[in-house]
Structure 1
Amino acid sequence: MDLHVWSRKGRLHALLLALLLSGASATRVANNLRTSAQSIKDELNQLSSFDLRNKYHALDGVATSTQRAGSNPQGRFNDDDEDEDEDMDDKSFLLLGASSDIGKGGSDDNGKDFCLKNKYRKRTFKVVKEMPFSGLFPELKRTRRFEGSGIAYAKGSYWVVFDSLRSLGQVDLRFSFRGPFNKLVGPVGEESQFEGISYDNVTDTFFVLRESMEHEEHGLVPLTEELRLTEGGNNYEVLGRCIVPFALQDVNKGFESLVVFWRDGKRHMLGLCESNFCKTVLGPDPPGLQRGNGRLVWATYHAPEDEYDECRWDVQKVIHLPSDAYLLDYSAISFRGEFGADVAVVSQEDAAVWVGSFDWKEMEFVDTNSDGTRMGRIYHFPRTSECRKQYCNVEGVAWIDEDRLVVTSDKSKRTQDFRCMEKDQSLHIIALP
């Protein structure tokens, strides 16, 4: 019998004993027992089917483990075995998780199935440490909104940009509460629309990305700003603003992340499109919502030739993400080390990260291993005890080492589930499972 039932039987026995000792009439005893029994029945009916299923799942696991004891001397499951999930690939598992998004017409039952899969254990990040931005900085500069969007490592710290601020966030490697080396650099200002940040170690400058702006000649295009820290590192100066003449269709679905690098004596950048195909997410059957069609734009810096010219990033190639990066959107990209092969791509909508490989010589993603198996894998952020999404606003990402990542979260939206509030406007350190 379930432990919940045993505890409630104890309550009935205690009530009966108290009534008898008080000398209550038989009618009063019967009425009190009837009322208490109905209350307990209602409590049992309200128990989450998910909780009960977890208990039965655990009991079933013990029984199954015992049955296997002949072939497994320890009588335990091997967590590396796929069990019933062996035919479910990363795409199917991702879609199962997406189908549980209640806010988008999903089913709660699908969420329970998602978390009870053995694959959930094998594909879910372990949270190492996390903290709201409001707890990281000793001085908040009278602001309470920290819409974390992009993050990059430079000069011994992690640097964060915020959609809501013009300040840069400098965070030391200890990620400590009100850390003495953590600070907001530059004025808070108005909303910046900064979505990404990258450090240029040749010029000792930062490039920050605005996902879109209206240009007289080229229409709706992404824009970068080059920043240099002032002496003492408490402020910065803007050295220039350069467009990427790459036509966008939606004002809120432009470039979400950038990586600046040098090759053959020239400065280059990679810009990650937020939507699939870099196309619109509006209208009937929009191409921007067709999963697995991520795009990374490679562009080369062009300096002004005279006082009448303007700097720009000339597009060299539109690089296709592998189809197994089967994501609904793309909010950030990070390579592990300069020209490192390991690459991570974050999806805010899916609360997931695709981890794969990149060939810098060919400027292409690597689709398969030498044995023909798919190179990339999709990992998921942990869910609540009810298997609901809680990391709903993940945006920026940077590698710490080969096993760990640091991620930033934007502010939760009014249209989102209230559970999204707990993890928003924060910095998270996560480990690969």
Structure 2
Amino acid sequence: MKRKLLLPAIALLMLAISCKKEKEEMAPENASNNNTVVSGAVKRTATSLGAPVAEAKVYKLIPGYDKNEKFEASGVYYLDGFFYVVFDNRFKIAKIKSTLPINSSQNTLLGSGSGDSDFEGITYSNANPARFYVVEEAVQNGSNYQPRIREYDADMNYLSNKWVGYNFSSSNSNKGFEGIARVYRGGEDYILGLVEGTGKVPVLKKTNSKWEKIAEITLPASAAFSDYADIAVYGNKVAIVGQEDALLWVGTLSDTSWSFSGGTTYSFPTGNSQGVVGAGSNVLYGNVEGVSFISANQIVVVSDKVKSDQPSYQTYKDQSVHIFNLP
């Protein structure tokens, strides 16, 4: 009698498994889901971003370049239908149409200079006169290493630079500023920096001689990453990316104090060893170095070059521009 009952039960179980598998296979590729990730020593639940709205290798976007060129993207800013991208191995700054047209004359390199730039972030102020600001990670200044912020006009002509009053020792000089974001408050411009190794966010105000630190924001526990690669601000929304963890954090910037609150952690989508998003569990976006808001619900990120100790499948997404919707 028990055996007769067992066979129908097994059949029902197999049917349930089959239906679940069919449902998963029919789920749209850009659907988001929650997953558990570990960043540093912290285990957390992250919401997976869907497949990118669009993405492309930088060399494919700019006429006259091929796959042998290095575009080690480190920061990005969206403005009026274009992405302005900085590279730590180039002084020239890319201006790329946000529709990502391939090999298009709409995509250009601006400015001049040769060699490694150590550029790590870019932001923009629409105050009169309008200015772009680009940060060098950490440059030796006497016995210290300090970030240095370069100022450009609206046409990306270089104007001047000022040191940031924030010191790093030579032993950790590669843990300097990884990003900057402009905030307009009380009729004045401020810049938020982002320290790679600690996640501290110094609040900077420009004086006649330098960018002076007037406050410092500590990130909430929900943004505890292994490293910090860039920061972006859109109204009172703030976004921070971590390269090693392939994570994005979006929280709220206070209107009345220099502090962040709340926050949601997102993981970039995984894929297979051929770089196909949604077809496997490999971390594809392991080199995200820059982030900017396009709108409140859409971001652009850019990726650095894959390092020699990283898996080869991450080359499918390196040195690229990627557009994602926020769930």
TM-score normalised by the chain length of structure 1? 0.62
The aligned counterpart of 1:255 is 177
Q: 2:207 aligns with which of 299, 302, 307?
A: 302
The aligned counterpart of 2:192 is 270
The CA deviation at 1:61 is: 8.7
Q: 1:222 aligns with which of 147, 158, 163?
A: 147
- Structure (1/2) with the larger strand percentage: 2
Q: 1:239 aligns with which of 149, 154, 159?
A: 159
Give matches, 1:313-332, under 5 Å.
Answer: 313-332=211-230
The aligned counterpart of 2:109 is 184
Kept in 2, the 8 Å contact 1:139–1:183? The answer is: no
| Matching residue's letter, 1:295 | K
The aligned counterpart of 2:263 is 376
Kept in 1, the 8 Å contact 2:59–2:66? The answer is: no
Runs of 4+ in 1 over 4 A off after TM superposition: 59-62, 64-67
Q: Could you tell me how far apart the structure 2 residues matched to 1:298 and 1:185 are?
A: 28
The CA deviation at 1:142 is: 11
When residues 60 and 222 of structure 1 are mapped into structure 2, their CA distance, relative to the original with a 3 A threshold, is farther
Find the residue that maps to 2:52 and give its secondary structure. strand
Q: Could you tell me how far apart the structure 1 residues matched to 2:14 and 2:152 are?
A: 57
Kept in 2, the 8 Å contact 1:164–1:191? The answer is: yes
Find the residue that maps to 2:94 and give its secondary structure. strand
Q: Could you tell me how far apart the structure 1 residues matched to 2:288 and 2:51 are?
A: 15
The CA deviation at 1:314 is: 1.0
- Structure (1/2) with the larger helix percentage: 1
**1:147-200: per-residue Cα shift (whole Å, max 9, x none)?**
011011234422110111111110122111123311111235111110001112
When residues 237 and 173 of structure 1 are mapped into structure 2, their CA distance, relative to the original with a 3 A threshold, is closer
The aligned counterpart of 1:40 is none
Q: Could you tell me how far apart the structure 2 residues matched to 1:177 and 1:98 are?
A: 38
The aligned counterpart of 1:107 is none
The CA deviation at 1:265 is: 4.5
Find the residue that maps to 1:158 and give its secondary structure. strand
User: Is the aligned partner of 1:153 residue 2:78?
Assistant: yes
Q: Could you tell me how far apart the structure 2 residues matched to 1:407 and 1:130 are?
A: 9
Kept in 1, the 8 Å contact 2:229–2:243? The answer is: yes
Q: Could you tell me how far apart the structure 2 residues matched to 1:94 and 1:318 are?
A: 28
Aligned residues: 296
**1:310-329: per-residue Cα shift (whole Å, max 9, x none)?**
x2011111101111112111
Q: Structure 2 unaligned segments of length 5 or more: list them.
A: 1-11, 28-32, 273-279
Find the residue that maps to 2:313 and give its secondary structure. helix
Q: 1:94 aligns with which of 13, 37, 40?
A: 37
When residues 341 and 260 of structure 1 are mapped into structure 2, their CA distance, relative to the original with a 3 A threshold, is closer
Give matches, 1:27-106, under 5 Å.
Answer: 63=16, 93-95=36-38
Q: Could you tell me how far apart the structure 2 residues matched to 1:275 and 1:98 are?
A: 12
The aligned counterpart of 1:425 is 319
| Matching residue's letter, 2:141 | H
Q: Could you tell me how far apart the structure 2 residues matched to 1:138 and 1:376 are?
A: 39
The CA deviation at 1:417 is: 1.4
| Matching residue's letter, 1:296 | V
The aligned counterpart of 2:57 is 132
Share of identical aligned residues, percent? 31
Q: Structure 1 unaligned segments of length 5 or more: list them.
A: 1-58, 68-74, 80-84, 100-113, 277-293, 304-310, 367-374
User: Is the aligned partner of 1:194 residue 2:89?
Assistant: no
| Matching residue's letter, 1:432 | L
The aligned counterpart of 1:283 is none
When residues 271 and 166 of structure 1 are mapped into structure 2, their CA distance, relative to the original with a 3 A threshold, is same
The CA deviation at 1:260 is: 2.6
**1:3-50: per-residue Cα shift (whole Å, max 9, x none)?**
xxxxxxxxxxxxxxxxxxxxxxxxxxxxxxxxxxxxxxxxxxxxxxxx
Give matches, 1:335-346, under 5 Å.
Answer: 335-336=233-234, 340-346=235-241
The CA deviation at 1:264 is: 3.9
Q: Could you tell me how far apart the structure 1 residues matched to 2:87 and 2:15 are?
A: 48
The CA deviation at 1:351 is: 0.5
The aligned counterpart of 2:245 is 350
Bigger Rg, which one: 1
When residues 392 and 188 of structure 1 are mapped into structure 2, their CA distance, relative to the original with a 3 A threshold, is farther
